[in-house]
Amino acid sequence: MGNNRIFAIGASAGGRTAIQAILKDISPEVNASFLIVVHSSYDMISSFTSYLNKKIQMEVLDAQENMEVKKGKVYVALPNQHMVVIKGKIMNSNGPRENLFRPSIDVLFRSVAVDFGNRCVGILLSGRLNDGTVGLEAIKRCGGETIIQNPETAEFSGMPLTAQKFVDIDYCLELEEVGDIIRKLTDEPLPEEIEIPYTIRREAEIATRIRSQVKTEDFLGEKVPMSCASCGGPLWKIKDTEIERYRCHVGHSFSQESLLMAQNENLEETLWVCLRTLEEKKVLMFKMAENFKNKGSGHISRSYSDKIQEVDEHIDRLRKLMDIRD
């Protein structure tokens, strides 16, 4: 295996301009490869690759199946596909979302940590929430090095700030400093090579669906009395990590923050369904009351009118809970 460095870059909100800034002066002759995940909506058309190609010197490519990771090239994850690396080649995976995202920064970082070990450098840039922290931890534990954008000057501080709290970061830099550190690291000897932790290998396999089963989760963590916000299955609290996070046997993975966000979204969706159902029930009972009244069954008609009043009260309470105004 070669000695070129592998730089895995993760970004979310505000990250596209940050990526351009750190790569614009890197020569195609650099002894390194670059793999990038930028959060995007699942139905977004990939345009960042063509944009970045016009702004930097290195060739930028959409990540394609079985592409060999080569020096002086930049590879960008496709929307709605995890980018992972296995034996030096890119694999696009439709595996379970992590922290509500696919592609996920954690999935890429963990993958390159397992595949490249001490040759890997993780760079986490501007973004909300905390995707990327677990991945940086994996890179560090596999012998690689870690870089974050200074949270105080990042457009969105959430991702680098969370990583700074939980991971022993090697470099906390301003954007204009990152390019110099990239060149410095490519000229330095590699860090000491260490054995890849077995638990990180197992988690990396889950993202590619090589491993995804209850037995695997029992090995990785402890079952908790909560359900997966994506599929409803049981959750396991992952051990062997400083970061509080959960995974289901299908493979969906959450930090505490992303799990709470997903639960809130599910709750809101459920409340909307309840409100719609109550409104439809009200309309149906109103029609039934009218029909019985027209047939001379006033007593039955009045009973439905009373029930309509009860439904109205439920609708009013639900609207207040959801802060909906007529």
pLDDT in tens, 160-172: 999 999 999 999 9
Q: What is the pLDDT of residue 214?
A: 47
Mean pLDDT across 197-225: 71
CA 308 from chain centre, in angstroms, equals: 45
**pLDDT tier at 107 (50, 70, 90 boundaries)?**
very high
User: In terms of Cα–Cα distance, which of 134, 115, 138 is closest to 69?
Assistant: 115
Same domain, 173 and 278: no
Highest mean pLDDT among 56-70, 241-255, 296-310: 56-70
Q: Could you give the number of structural domains in the chain?
A: 2
Mean pLDDT across 39-59: 81
Same domain, 156 and 264: no
Whether 131 sits among the annotated catalytic residues: the reply is yes
Same domain, 69 and 152: yes
**pLDDT tier at 248 (50, 70, 90 boundaries)?**
confident
Give whole-number Cα distances, 136 to 24, 162, 202, 249, in Å.
Answer: 23, 11, 16, 23
Residue 105 CA to residue 111 CA, distance in Å, equals 10
Mean pLDDT across 86-105: 89
Same domain, 292 and 171: no
Q: Check residues 29 and 233 and name the one with the higher pLDDT.
A: 29
Mean pLDDT across 88-94: 92
Same domain, 281 and 171: no
Name the token pair of 187: 């000229």
Asked if the structure places residue 195 within a domain, the reply is no
Is a pLDDT exceeding 60 seen at residue 138? yes
Same domain, 183 and 267: no
Mean pLDDT across 183-200: 92
Mean pLDDT across 68-77: 96
CB atoms within 10 A of CB 175: 19
Same domain, 26 and 167: yes
Residue 23 CA to residue 83 CA, distance in Å, equals 20
Residue 283 CA to residue 277 CA, distance in Å, equals 10
Same domain, 159 and 267: no
Helix axes 133-141, 198-207, angle to 10 degrees: 140
pLDDT more than 70, % of the chain: 93
Picking from 187, 203, 218, the residue at the C-terminal end of a domain is 187
Asked if the structure places residue 182 within a domain, the reply is yes
Give whole-number Cα distances, 271 to 89, 263, 290, in Å.
Answer: 45, 12, 29
Name the token pair of 184: 């410095």
Same domain, 164 and 34: yes
DSSP 250: T
**pLDDT tier at 305 (50, 70, 90 boundaries)?**
confident
Is a pLDDT exceeding 90 seen at residue 119? yes
Residue indicated by tokens 């840039």: 125
Name the token pair of 215: 């037995």
Is a pLDDT exceeding 90 seen at residue 105? yes
Lowest mean pLDDT among 33-47, 73-87, 130-144: 33-47
Name the token pair of 146: 């870690």
Whether 180 sits among the annotated catalytic residues: the reply is no
Q: What is the pLDDT of residue 217?
A: 54
Q: What is the mean pLDDT of the chain?
A: 87
Picking from 162, 187, 212, the residue at the C-terminal end of a domain is 187
Same domain, 31 and 179: yes
Question: CATH number for the domain including 119?
Answer: 3.40.50.180
Q: Which domain holds residue 69?
A: 5-187
Asked if the structure places residue 232 within a domain, the reply is no
Mean pLDDT across 201-221: 65
Helix%, strand%, coil% for the chain, nearest 5: 45, 20, 35
User: Which one from 93, 106, 111, 131 is the annotated catalytic residue?
Assistant: 131
Same domain, 48 and 172: yes
Q: Give per-residue pLDDT as tens, 1-39.
A: 467 899 999 999 999 999 999 999 999 999 999 999 998
Is a pLDDT exceeding 80 seen at residue 109? yes
Q: What is the pLDDT of residue 8?
A: 98
Same domain, 10 and 154: yes
Q: What is the pLDDT of residue 252?
A: 80
Asked if the structure places residue 200 within a domain, the reply is no
Asked if the structure places residue 146 within a domain, the reply is yes
CA 150 from chain centre, in angstroms, equals: 21
pLDDT more than 90, % of the chain: 51
Mean pLDDT across 299-311: 85
**pLDDT tier at 268 (50, 70, 90 boundaries)?**
confident
Picking from 171, 187, 203, the residue at the C-terminal end of a domain is 187
Asked if the structure places residue 160 within a domain, the reply is yes
Asked if the structure places residue 97 within a domain, the reply is yes
**pLDDT tier at 70 (50, 70, 90 boundaries)?**
very high
Spell out the residues 6+ positions from residue 295 whose beta carbon is closer than 8 angstroms to its own: none
Q: What is the pLDDT of residue 46?
A: 67
CB atoms within 10 A of CB 272: 13
User: Which one from 39, 82, 249, 252 is the annotated catalytic residue?
Assistant: 39
Asked if the structure places residue 306 within a domain, the reply is yes
Q: Check residues 17 and 97 and name the one with the higher pLDDT.
A: 17
